[in-house]
Structure 1
């Protein structure tokens, strides 16, 4: 399996090999999010660091290409942007391999299941099956959530070399998303160490009230951790003290099967 190059060890490309326009165009697309789905030229310039004139040209180009629309002085993205994400889901090996076994896992337990990968300080969902249980809007491909307060995220953080984990926690702005969110970094380190030692992580309502998750790492045939897989339940269905007994055996079974395929 071909893995992405670790940016901490890969040499930085020469400036002459980079296309600055593509970089800035993607920054303009990323300026739109759930909180700010409609932006003016000035707002895009502020969020990307571009000049107002440059932001205007990029937005006009995106409108021309069909990736954005304009209404008066306000811009928003169009569904055509989803093609970018679909290109990954259709071409990447990981989602295609895990989806069938994820489907079996979810329906065997009657609960939602998902697979995620670490990107910067976030956990990005790359595959998900609801099994008829709509537990959270975050459990669908393409969603991005903070890694520090999710079970998949903690499993992935536990796999990082110590210097990378220290750097991540050093720059992390820990925010309490619920009353259960662990915001003390020393305690967070203990939870990550616990996940590393026991081989799984349990997170109780730290991302969303009512959402409980248990996750295990997914390793390839060489033993490298390439993703994390979880089962998500609503707190009204499974007490937190029962989630390991109820869900971990099924997770470990699929984990073992996937190790031979990744």
Structure 2
């Protein structure tokens, strides 16, 4: 059994056990039940119950005999970021691109129906919506979200769109599921997405996929700006090559 440093009426052991399971992942992306039980000092039965509770709450996912944390753990703080070398690799690349472009640049991952920022840099804030690391935005109506949805199997993508609250954030927001599937298919084919005034009037986002060695989309790198600063055509011509170069640089530095 795990030995706790404190005890008493103010100490909730069951809560401590749950936190110990999250902390057990350390820098590992995936662990099996035996590994988690060994690292926490919990019995396999207790570890199993806690893991499946985390899965049910969306803080972890289960793939055969392996368990992995999800970006939703960001809601508890920055524990999720410690499991990713991705953020450490990406942050200096993002900061360099943000300075060169004088625009907001961010890296996000997919958390069910949302794109969640895991790294961000800005020189000049051009957006009304305050966003920081850990902030999530609807995937269906953002450039980075569409890139991430395009990385899914089409059936899984359709399933998530069906569950999403496809709210019309502006008069330009595309909410029709079939139209979104067509747009995401186009994004899947070209590897990038441009979203204009979909979430906020006057705002425009351009995003590309960050792909691992196996060809899997693991994140989206996006640049956000205001249409008063750049037209969509200029945005694509000027910044798409830079985003692609930055995404390739991040992918090259990731451990195999």
> 1:1-59: per-residue Cα shift (whole Å, max 9, x none)?
96569xxxxxxx98982139975xx79xxxxxxxxxxxxxxxxxxxxxxxxxxxxxxxx
Q: Distance in 2 between matches of 1:82 and 1:196?
A: 27
Q: Which residue of 2 aligns with 1:86?
A: 78
Give the counterpart of 1:191 among 183, 186, 190: 183
Give the counterpart of 1:133 among 125, 128, 134: 125
Map residues 148-227 of structure 1 onto 2, 5 A cutoff: 148-227=140-219
**TM-score, length-scaled by structure 1:** 0.69
Deviates more, 1:102-111 or 1:128-137: 128-137
**How far off its partner does 1:93 sit?**
1.4
**How far off its partner does 1:189 sit?**
0.9
> 1:151-183: per-residue Cα shift (whole Å, max 9, x none)?
000001001012211211222221101111101
Measured at CA, do residues 21 and 256 of structure 1 come closer, stay the same or move farther in structure 2, by a change above 3 Å? Answer: closer
Contact kept in structure 1, 2:141 and 2:199, CA below 8 Å: yes
Q: Aligned residue pairs: how many?
A: 201
RMSD of the TM alignment (CA)? 2.9
Q: Which residue of 2 aligns with 1:104?
A: 96
Moved over 4 A (4+): 1-5, 13-16, 20-23
Q: Distance in 2 between matches of 1:118 and 1:260?
A: 21
Partner SS for 1:95: helix
Q: Which residue of 1 aligns with 2:115?
A: 123
Partner SS for 2:79: helix
Q: Which residue of 1 aligns with 2:48?
A: 17
Partner SS for 1:18: helix
> 1:189-241: per-residue Cα shift (whole Å, max 9, x none)?
11101111111000001111121000000012332211000000011100122
The unaligned stretches of length 5 or more in structure 2 are 1-26, 32-43, 59-72
Partner SS for 1:157: helix
The unaligned stretches of length 5 or more in structure 1 are 6-12, 28-80
Q: Distance in 1 between matches of 2:178 and 2:243?
A: 28
Measured at CA, do residues 14 and 154 of structure 1 come closer, stay the same or move farther in structure 2, by a change above 3 Å? Answer: farther
**TM-score, length-scaled by structure 2:** 0.70
Measured at CA, do residues 129 and 221 of structure 1 come closer, stay the same or move farther in structure 2, by a change above 3 Å? Answer: same
Contact kept in structure 1, 2:28 and 2:83, CA below 8 Å: no
Give the counterpart of 1:254 among 225, 246, 249: 246
